[in-house]
Amino acid sequence: MAQERVIALVDMDCFYVQVEQRRDPSLRGKPCAVVQYKKWQGGGIIAVGYEARAKGVTRQMRGDEAKKKCPEITLVRVPENRGKADLTRYRDAGREVIEVLCKFSRCVERASIDEAYIDLTEEVVKRIEERGPDSVTVDMLSSTHVAGWQTDTVGQSSESEGINLDGRAVGVFQWLDSLSRRDASLYDRRLAMGAVIAEEMRAAVERETGFHCSAGIGHNKVLAKLCCGLHKPKQQTVLPHASVPQLYSTLPIKKVRGCGGKLGASLTEDLGVEYMGQLAAFSEKELQAKCGDKCGTWLYNLCRGVDYEPVKDRQVAQSIGCGKNFPGRECLDTKEKVLHWLSQLSSELAERLQKDKEMNNRVAKLLVVGFRNDGNPPTSASRSCAIHRYEADQLCKDAFILLKQFNLAGNHQAAWSPPIMNLHLNASKFVEEGGAASGNIATFLSKTPNNKLSQAPSMKQETKKEATQHGSKEERRTSGIAAFFSPSHKNVVREVEGEIKTTIGTSVQVNTSPASTGPGQVQKMSFFAKFKQSPAEQEGRSRAGGIPLTAQCERSPRKTGFFAAKSVKSSSASGCVKSVKNAHSPDDVTLQEELQTQWKGCDKSSNDTSTVSQPSDKPQIQAESHTPRTGPSDTNSTASDSDSNGEGPQEGSTEPDRPDCTAVPSDRCVSVTGDASGTQVDAEDVTKCEKCGKDILAWELPEHLDFHFAMELQQQQQQQTSNGTGASAHASGSNVSKATSGAAKITGKRRGRPPKRQKIDHPTLDAFFKHRS
DNA sequence: CATGGGGTTAGT
DNA sequence: ACTAACCC
Ligand SMILES: Nc1ccn([C@H]2C[C@H](O)[C@@H](COP(=O)(O)OP(=O)(O)OP(=O)(O)O)O2)c(=O)n1
Ligand SMILES: [Mg+2]
Ligand SMILES: [Mg+2]
C-alpha cells in the first residue's frame, strides 16, 4: 500500500546562518547572511536568516546588494583555507543533526548537508501498539500544521472563553477528531503518530545542537519534502493523503522534487500542464511516451500522491569532493597554475579523506578529476583513476596525469591550452577498511563500506552554547541494530484516557503558543501561502462545526487492523533500504603495483603568499597564528562592514605543514586481486629513476620524468612568489617527454586501450596509452 | 570578468 | 566510465 509508510523530512532552518549564530551568539536575532568570498561585489550569499529574508535578501544575491536591501545586515564569511572556501564547519554541524535523528529510527537518510529523511513507520507502529491509535492529542502537536485543515484567521477566537484558537490549532484539532471516527484512515492515524515523533525529534535536535528546524510528515519522501516547505521556520506540516488532490490542484509542477528543472519545464511546455494535479489526466503510457518508462511511471504515481522511493539507510556521503571556479581573468592558463590548484585541492581532499577514514572506517577507491573550459557552450570532462593511498601529493600527481591529456599546449610549455575555468577532485567508491578488527565478517567480505554514522563527530570544541542538560550525548550508537528510540520526551503517554472528544467551541486543550513566531515568521507568499486555507475555505464553505470530509480521494477499501498490510514487502521495515548492496561491488578494484614514486613535496609551502587561511576559528589545526581566541566571535570576520576590499587574508595562519620534498621509498602496492577480471600492470620492465632512485616502469619513464619537471617548476614558482622575485622558469628538469604531446579531445571518443582489461586502470598506465597510442 | 561549493541519481 | 540532470 502506498500509504503504509510514515516518512519525515527534517530540514534545518537557514542552516549556515544558524551555524554562525551558534558560534557567535551576538548575531542571534539579527538580520544575517552567510557569504562566500568577499571581493567580488561583496561575495555571494548562500544562506539567509529569516530576519534578513523579511527585508528582501535572498540567496544568489551579492553581499553588496544585500547591504542595500538591509543595511543592518551582518554578513558572515565562509571560512577559507588553501585559497578556497571550506565548508567543513557546516558539514560537521550537519553531522551533529544526523546523530540526533538517528536516535529515533533505524532508517535515516542524509539527503543533504542540512536535511534527512526518516522512515518512522516502525516507531509509529510500535507506539500505536503500546498506546493505542487515539492517544495523540493536540498538545503533542504544538508546532504542527495539517495540510488541508488549516482554518484560517479572520475573525475568530474572540468569543472563545480566553482560548486563543488559531487556524493551525483548530485544524489540528479537527483532524485529530476526525481520526477517531470508525471510518477514519488507519494510515492517517499513523501520520498523526509520526507527527508526534517528529515534534520530539525536532525538540531533541534543538536541545542537543542548538539548531532549530522544520519538518514534513507524509507517506513518502516527495510528500514529506513538499509539505516541509509549507510552514518553514520552526514548524512542521503533516500531509494526509486525502489532502493531496487539493494541494496538487494549485501546485506548480516545478515545486515537486525532481521536477524543478528541464523535466518540469518540458511537461508544462509540451503537455500544457501547469499544476501537479493536471498530470493525473494522462495515462501512464502517455507519460512514458513523454519522458521514458521509468520517469513516466514515476510521474503517473506521483501526481496521485504516490512515490515508492525508499528511505535509504545511509548517514554519510558517498563521495567527497572539492573544487573551485576560476572565472574570467582568474582562469588557469599555465601549467603552474594548474599544478598549484591541483595541489591545493589534493591537500584538502586528502585531509578530508583521512578524517573520513578514521570516522567511518572506509577508504575511497576512485579518484575523479574534472574541469570546465569556457566557450559556447562551455565544455567539461572528467577522468578517473584508482586511489591507492591517502596522500595529497599522490592524489595531486595522479590528477595531473589525468588532466594533462587535455592540455593542447605542449607538455613542456608554460601555457595550458584551453584555460580551465573550473577544476574539481572527487573521491568515491568507498569500501570498508581492510583493518582487521573492523566490522563484522559479512560486511567485510562483501566489501561494503560502513555508511552509518559511527561515533560522535569528536564533538569538537564547538561548544553547545545552547545545548543544555547532560542529555544523551553518550552516543552508544554504533551502527545499525542498536538504535532504539529513547530520547527524553516528556509528553508521552497520555494514556488512552481522554480521547479528545469535543466539538469546536467547547473547551479544548489547545496549546495556545504558536510555538514560534518571530521576525522570521514570514511565510512564503508564493504558492505556499495560498495553501494555508482549508478546502472548506477555498470552496467558500463554512467551517463552523464542520468536520471536513476526509473522503473524495481514493480511500482504499482497506482491510482493517493496523497490521493488515504487514505482508506487503515489509510493513514495519517498510522498505527501508539498508545499504548493503554491492554484494559484489563493481569495483573490486584490484590493488595494483604502484608505478610511480611519490614525491612528497608536490609543494611544501604550497601556500602562495596571497592565499591565506582564514578565520582563526577555534584552536584548529592551525600552525601558529595565535589569535588569542577562544570565543566564537573572534572568527570569521563577521565583517558586515567595510573590508569590502579584501579577498585577502581574513586572518592569517599558515597552512599546516605538508609533507616535504623528500622521496620516499615506494611501498609498491601489491597487485592482488580477488577477482580474475582485474588486470594489473606487471611489475616487470622496471627501471630506476635517476632523480629519485625509485623503480619505474620503463615505458612510463617519460611521464615520470615529466613529473619531476613539473614539480620542480612549481616549487620554483612558489619560492619566487614568496620571495617576491621575478620569475622565469628554467627547469633543470631533465624533461624527456615532449614530442609525445597528444591531447585528448573532450567530446570525442577516447583512444583505445591496451588489450588489457581491468577494472580501474592505473592512472599512469592509462595515461601512457592514451598518450601515445 | 563572475554565484560557488558542494552532493546524488539516471542514462548511455 | 563518463555525462547530464537535479538538488542543497
Ligand atoms: N544553492 C545552495 C543551496 C543551499 N546551500 C547551503 C546553505 C544552506 O544554509 C544549506 C541548506 O539549504 P536549504 O535549501 O535547506 O536552505 P536553508 O537551510 O538556508 O534555509 P531554509 O530555512 O529555507 O531551509 O545549504 C548552498 O550552499 N547553496
Ligand atoms: Mg534548510
Ligand atoms: Mg535543505
Contact A107, A98 (CB under 8 A): no
Determine the average pLDDT of the residues in A249-264.
98
What does the alpha-carbon distance between residue A312 and residue A122 come to, in Å, rounded to a whole number?
A: 14
- Taking the centre of ligand 2 as the mean of its atom positions, its distance from the CA of residue A500, in whole angstroms, is 34
- A222: its cell numbers: 516527495
Query: Which pLDDT score, from 0 to 100, does residue A302 have?
Result: 98
Candidate from A17, A57, A59, A88 with most ligand 1 atoms within 8 A of CB, to mutate = A59
Contacts of A28 (CB under 8 A, 6+ apart): A21
Burial class of residue A629, CB neighbours in 10 A (0-12, 13-18, 19+)? middle
pLDDT tens digits for range A520-573: 333 344 666 556 444 444 443 433 333 332 222 222 232 222 222 322 233 344
Query: Residue A76: nearest ligand to its CA?
Result: 1
Nucleotide nearest to A45 (CA to C1'): B3
pLDDT tens digits for range A22-45: 999 999 999 999 999 999 999 999
Residue A4 has pLDDT above 70, yes or no: yes
Q: Which residue is nearest to nucleotide B1 (CA to C1')?
A: A328
Out of A133-142, A444-453, A588-597, A644-653, give the one with best mean pLDDT.
Answer: A133-142
What does the alpha-carbon distance between residue A596 and residue A704 come to, in Å, rounded to a whole number?
A: 7
Query: Which pLDDT score, from 0 to 100, does residue A504 have?
Result: 30
Nearest residue (CA) to ligand 1, atom 24: A13
Contact A332, A416 (CB under 8 A): yes
Considering only A125-129, A167-171, A289-293, A763-767, which range has the smallest mean pLDDT? A763-767
Give the CA-trace dihedral at A232, A234, A239, A240, to 10 degrees. Answer: -150
Contact A402, A425 (CB under 8 A): no
Distance A187 CA to B7 C1' (A): 33
Nucleotide nearest to A37 (CA to C1'): B4
Residue ranges near strand C (C-beta within 7 Å): A 11, 111-115, 225, 256-264, 366, 368, 370, 380-384, 586-587, 746, 750, 759-760
- Among candidate residues A513, A406, A669, the one with its CA nearest the CA of residue A163: A513
pLDDT tens digits for range A398-431: 999 999 999 999 999 999 999 999 999 999 999 9
What does the alpha-carbon distance between residue A402 and residue A345 come to, in Å, rounded to a whole number?
A: 15
- A584: its cell numbers: 559484489
Residue A334 has pLDDT above 60, yes or no: yes
- Among candidate residues A359, A327, A316, A350, the one with its CA nearest the CA of residue A81: A350
- A489: its cell numbers: 520526551
Residue A754 has pLDDT above 70, yes or no: no
For A101, half-sphere exposure in the C-beta direction (CA atoms, 13 angstrom radius) is 35
| Mean of per-residue pLDDT scores for chain A | 72
Angle formed by the axes of helices A392-403 and A701-723, nearest 10°? 110
Number of H helices and E strands in chain A, helices first, is 19, 20
Contact A120, A105 (CB under 8 A): yes
What does the alpha-carbon distance between residue A43 and residue A41 come to, in Å, rounded to a whole number?
A: 6
Contact A558, A189 (CB under 8 A): no
Query: Which pLDDT score, from 0 to 100, does residue A480 have?
Result: 29
Contact A49, A520 (CB under 8 A): yes
Distance A111 CA to C2 C1' (A): 24
pLDDT tens digits for range A61-76: 999 999 999 999 999 9
Query: Which pLDDT score, from 0 to 100, does residue A170 have?
Result: 97
DSSP β-bridge partners for residue A323: A424
pLDDT tens digits for range A623-652: 333 333 333 434 455 544 434 334 555 544
- Taking the centre of ligand 3 as the mean of its atom positions, its distance from the CA of residue A313, in whole angstroms, is 18
Query: Which pLDDT score, from 0 to 100, does residue A456 have?
Result: 53
Query: Which pLDDT score, from 0 to 100, does residue A164 have?
Result: 63
Cα A675 to Cα A445, A587, A620, A672, A678, distances in angstroms: 13, 10, 43, 8, 6
- Between A576 and A335, whose confidence is greater? A335
Contacts of A262 (CB under 8 A, 6+ apart): none
Contacts of A655 (CB under 8 A, 6+ apart): A81, A82, A347, A605, A606, A607, A613, A623
Residue A167 has pLDDT above 80, yes or no: yes
CB atoms within 10 A of CB A454: 17
Burial class of residue A276, CB neighbours in 10 A (0-12, 13-18, 19+)? buried
> In sequence order, what E strands does A16-166 have?
32-36, 44-48, 74-77, 80-81, 84-85, 108-112, 115-119, 144-146
Query: Which pLDDT score, from 0 to 100, does residue A627 have?
Result: 37
C-beta of A46 in contact with ligand 1 (< 6 A): yes
Query: Residue A116: nearest ligand to its CA?
Result: 3
Considering only A239-253, A320-334, A588-602, which range has the smallest mean pLDDT? A588-602
pLDDT tens digits for range A179-194: 999 999 999 999 999 9
pLDDT tens digits for range A451-510: 898 865 544 444 443 333 322 333 333 332 222 223 333 332 232 232 322 223 333 333
Nearest residue (CA) to ligand 1, atom 28: A46
What does the alpha-carbon distance between residue A470 and residue A758 come to, in Å, rounded to a whole number?
A: 53
Nearest residue (CA) to ligand 1, atom 1: A46
CA dihedral sign of residues A455, A90, A50, A227: negative
Contact A481, A147 (CB under 8 A): no
Residue A139 has pLDDT above 50, yes or no: yes
- Taking the centre of ligand 2 as the mean of its atom positions, its distance from the CA of residue A336, in whole angstroms, is 39
What does the alpha-carbon distance between residue A287 and residue A566 come to, in Å, rounded to a whole number?
A: 31
- A23: its cell numbers: 558560534
Residue A709 has pLDDT above 70, yes or no: no
Nearest residue (CA) to ligand 1, atom 7: A47
Distance A377 CA to B1 C1' (A): 17
What distance, in Å, lies between the first and last C-alpha atoms of chain A? 57
Query: Which pLDDT score, from 0 to 100, does residue A339 have?
Result: 98
For A106, half-sphere exposure in the C-beta direction (CA atoms, 13 angstrom radius) is 17
Determine the average pLDDT of the residues in A147-155.
81
Distance A567 CA to C4 C1' (A): 39
C-beta of A10 in contact with ligand 1 (< 6 A): no
Q: Which residue is nearest to nucleotide B11 (CA to C1')?
A: A292
Distance A15 CA to B6 C1' (A): 14
Cα A402 to Cα A450, A545, A565, A601, A717, distances in angstroms: 29, 71, 53, 19, 22
Contacts of A255 (CB under 8 A, 6+ apart): A226, A229, A276, A527
Contact A412, A418 (CB under 8 A): no
Residue A752 has pLDDT above 90, yes or no: no
CA dihedral sign of residues A149, A151, A157, A159: negative
Residue A295, CB, less than 7 Å from strand B?
yes
C-beta of A234 in contact with ligand 1 (< 6 A): no
C-beta of A57 in contact with ligand 1 (< 6 A): no
Provide the 3-class DSSP secondary structure of residue A214.
strand
pLDDT tier at A577 (50, 70, 90 boundaries)?
confident
Question: What radius of gyration do chain A's Cα atoms show?
Answer: 29
Residue A316 has pLDDT above 60, yes or no: yes
Query: Which pLDDT score, from 0 to 100, does residue A453 have?
Result: 87
CA dihedral sign of residues A238, A240, A246, A248: positive
What does the alpha-carbon distance between residue A145 and residue A135 come to, in Å, rounded to a whole number?
A: 18
Query: Residue A111: nearest ligand to its CA?
Result: 3
Query: Which pLDDT score, from 0 to 100, does residue A746 have?
Result: 77
pLDDT tens digits for range A501-530: 222 333 333 333 333 333 333 334 466 655
Query: Which pLDDT score, from 0 to 100, does residue A440 have?
Result: 53
pLDDT tens digits for range A75-85: 999 999 999 99
- Please report where in the chains the cell 570516522 appears, as a residue: A359
- Taking the centre of ligand 2 as the mean of its atom positions, its distance from the CA of residue A136, in whole angstroms, is 28
List alpha helices for A111-230, DSSP H.
121-131, 167-179, 186-209, 221-228
What does the alpha-carbon distance between residue A353 and residue A478 come to, in Å, rounded to a whole number?
A: 21
SS (H, E, C) A338-349: HHHHHHHHHHHH
- Between A440 and A354, whose confidence is greater? A354
Query: Which pLDDT score, from 0 to 100, does residue A95 have?
Result: 98
pLDDT tens digits for range A342-388: 999 999 999 999 999 999 999 999 999 999 999 999 999 999 999 99
Provide the 3-class DSSP secondary structure of residue A628.
coil
Query: Which pLDDT score, from 0 to 100, does residue A587 have?
Result: 32
Determine the average pLDDT of the residues in A667-696.
38
Contact A680, A673 (CB under 8 A): yes
Distance A747 CA to C3 C1' (A): 10
Contacts of A371 (CB under 8 A, 6+ apart): A380, A381, A382, A403, A406, A420, A421, A422, A423, A424
Residue A10, CB, less than 7 Å from strand B?
no
Contacts of A67 (CB under 8 A, 6+ apart): A42, A73, A75
- Taking the centre of ligand 3 as the mean of its atom positions, its distance from the CA of residue A12, in whole angstroms, is 6
